[in-house]
Structure 1
């Protein structure tokens, strides 16, 4: 998927459920988090196999990290995917608690 296509993905932030979501081909993709004060712990990234490999997980994590930055949250990347993403994208490492 091109970066233009993925960057146009309208990811939903479901604040009450503490998650970011995107539905691709009828499959729900999620990034779950908890929030304690101003610390967001990203706990799970889930993209069903039938829609894997399309950059969805990366887009979900980017949306979560951009929201954290905009709201002044610190981040705990407890999910291994989120931790690896932050490691590969140094522009987000300043958010890590």
Structure 2
């Protein structure tokens, strides 16, 4: 997928008192990354799911990156329990400052 197509994808964010999710809707499908809050300063990424129809487009990575950027901006730390999110953060040393 070209950068322009990725730039056109809107990552949405919903948050409640105990957690939230980042998600992308495209072509009638939805990819998401969910998290729980542990106290004021810790976000636990517990699930990343990308349907087969949206696979191979870098959407999962975009969701993790957005979570990392938002955590950094808010001064929070991430515990990546989701194996996918953990692997993505391990592949990107520039994201590891937010690891708890």
Flag whether TM exceeds 0.5 (same fold). Answer: yes
Specify every segment of 5 or more residues in structure 1 that has no aligned partner in the other structure, as ranges: none
SS of structure 2 residue aligned to 1:18: strand
SS of structure 2 residue aligned to 1:54: coil
Specify every segment of 5 or more residues in structure 2 that has no aligned partner in the other structure, as ranges: none
User: Aligned equivalents of 2:57 and 2:32: distance in 1?
Assistant: 14
User: Aligned equivalents of 2:71 and 2:5: distance in 1?
Assistant: 23
TM-score by length of structure 1 reads: 0.92
TM-score by length of structure 2 reads: 0.90
How many positions carry a matched residue from both structures?
97
Q: Tell me how large the CA RMSD over aligned residues is.
A: 1.3
Residue from 23, 26, 29 that aligns with 1:27: 29
- 1:28, distance to aligned residue in structure 2 (A): 1.1
User: Aligned equivalents of 1:7 and 1:66: distance in 2?
Assistant: 16
SS of structure 1 residue aligned to 2:57: coil
